[in-house]
């Protein structure tokens, strides 16, 4: 019988930045955090930690609050964005709790200082945690309004020298148009950064894409809701859409 070690597939990446959709935490509910979904997502993270991969996370806040929505309702945009950043802290703490309950060692580092609940963001310290096998959760986005957690994920990925930015979301890749709104939209297998920008594809914001393009950081967009997908991407299975210096190719 093969040993457990022989069975373990080899990871394609040594260090990843996994960006989790906040909205995905809603699960079957309408708002907030579904405990069942939270556990399922934490299990996905644990699976890749067990492969020996160094894992940094950012999580969005769309299940609780988005600054743009607040501004549309008449709020000052910056105040609304700070509320959005606080929402990501709530999600980060929830994820930390779920991971620790599974025996995964974690640290939350917040871009907005709140010593009672999280470490402040210190780049070198984050890298040290990763080297020790701890999952580092980057909370509060970039700490600045007018940004998103996709941009925060790109920035942190660059800072910690991650090999890839994995965007785990509610769609199974990048489409010619928003697949939730246009059923005729077609999926790409790979896309160049420039094509994402030129085609104005909204799966990630343009600041995040530009930052990755300027620093040559590959992105994989894939479906978080299918069990085992994070591990599949990490071991190099061809799922989702890869965005990088590659040529643009349709799926199928």
Ligand X SMILES: O=c1ccn([C@@H]2O[C@H](COP(=O)(O)O)[C@@H](O)[C@H]2O)c(=O)[nH]1
Ligand Y SMILES: Nc1ncnc2c1ncn2[C@@H]1O[C@H](COP(=O)(O)OP(=O)(O)OP(=O)(O)O)[C@@H](O)[C@H]1O
Instruction: Give the residue ranges of the annotated binding site for ATP.
Output: 19-22, 62, 66, 169, 175, 178
Which of 60, 67, 70, 145 is close enough to bind ligand Y by CB under 6 A?
60
Figure out which of the listed residues 20, 38, 45, 60 binds ligand X, where binding follows CB under 6 A: 60
Q: Does 172 bind ligand Y (CB under 6 A)?
A: no
Segment 9 to 28, residues that bind ligand Y, using CB under 6 A: 21-23
Indicate which of ligand X, ligand Y, none lies near residue 147 (CB less than 5 to 8 Å, by partner kind): ligand X
Residue 58 binds which entry of ligand Y, ligand X, none, with Cβ cut-offs from 5 to 8 Å by kind? none
Nearer residue to ligand Y within complex by CB, 121 or 175: 175
> Which one of 61-69, 98-106, 163-171, 189-197 is the stretch in contact with ligand X (CB under 6 A)?
61-69
- How would you write the chain as a 3-class SS string? CCCHHHHCCCCCCCEEEEEECCHHHHCCCCCCCCHHHHHHHHHHHHHHHCCCCEEEEEECCCCCCCHHHHHHCCCCHHHHHHHHHHHHHHHHHHHHHHHHHCCCCEEEEECCCCCCCCEECCHHHHHHHHHCCCEEEEECCCCCCCCCHHHHHHHHHHHCCCCEEEEEECCCCCECCCCCCCCCCCEEEEEEHHHHHHCCCCCCCHHHHHHHHHHCCCEEEEECCCCCHHHHHHCCCCCCEEEECCCCEECC
Stretch that binds ligand X, among 25-33, 38-46, 80-88, 171-179 (CB under 6 A): 80-88
Q: Which is nearer to ligand Y, 125 or 177 (CB)?
A: 177
Query: For ligand X, which stretch binds (CB under 6 A), given 41-49, 54-62, 97-105, 222-230?
Result: 54-62
Binding residues for ligand X (CB under 6 A): 22, 60-62, 66-68, 81, 84-85, 87-88, 141-142, 144-145, 147-150, 152
């Amino acid at each position: 019988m093969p040993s457990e070690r022989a069975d373990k597939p080899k990871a394609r990446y040594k260090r990843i930045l996994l960006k989790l959709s906040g909205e995905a935490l809603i699960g079957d509910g309408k708002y907030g955090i579904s405990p069942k979904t939270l556990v399922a997502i934490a299990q996905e993270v644990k699976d890749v930690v067990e492969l020996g991969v160094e894992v940094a996370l950012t999580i969005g806040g769309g299940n609780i609050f988005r600054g743009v929505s607040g501004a549309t309702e008449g709020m000052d945009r910056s105040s609304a964005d700070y509320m959005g950043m606080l929402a990501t802290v709530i999600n980060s703490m929830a994820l930390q709790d779920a991971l620790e309950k599974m025996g995964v060692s974690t640290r939350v580092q917040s871009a907005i200082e709140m010593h009672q609940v999280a470490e402040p963001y210190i780049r070198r310290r984050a890298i040290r945690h990763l080297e020790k096998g701890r999952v580092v959760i980057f909370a509060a986005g970039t700490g600045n309004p007018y940004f998103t957690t996709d941009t925060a994920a790109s920035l942190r990925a660059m800072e910690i020298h991650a090999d890839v930015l994995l965007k785990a979301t509610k769609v199974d890749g990048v489409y010619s148009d928003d697949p939730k709104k246009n059923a005729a939209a077609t999926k790409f297998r790979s896309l160049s950064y420039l094509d994402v920008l030129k085609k104005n594809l909204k799966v990630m914001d343009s600041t995040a894409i530009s930052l990755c393009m300027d620093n040559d950081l590959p992105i994989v967009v894939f479906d978080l809701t299918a069990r085992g997908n994070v591990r599949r991407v990490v071991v190099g299975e061809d799922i989702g859409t890869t965005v990088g210096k590659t040529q643009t190719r349709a799926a199928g």
